[in-house]
């Protein structure tokens, strides 16, 4: 799990990018609190073969990335 709450872009995307490159996980959960980060992580994930599910809980977003 990556907790990137409190960070603005590109920080959260870089954290996800590093995790994907180092471990090529089948799934990954990411927590963010910025809508822009949700959009950028989603774009990155889809471009790298992941499906993305987003849950919004009062301004905190939980993204679940799953390898297609």
Q: Which residues are known catalytic residues? A: 9
Structure letter (DSSP) for residue 57: E
3-class SS of residue 61: strand
Residue whose pair of structure tokens reads 């959009």 in the numeric block: 39
């Amino acid at each position: 799990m990556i907790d990137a709450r409190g960070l603005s872009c590109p920080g959260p995307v870089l954290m996800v990018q590093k995790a994907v490159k180092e471990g090529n996980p089948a799934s990954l959960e990411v927590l963010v609190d910025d809508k822009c980060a949700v959009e950028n992580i989603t774009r990155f994930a889809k471009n790298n073969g992941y499906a993305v599910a987003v849950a919004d809980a009062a301004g905190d977003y939980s993204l679940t990335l799953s390898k297609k």
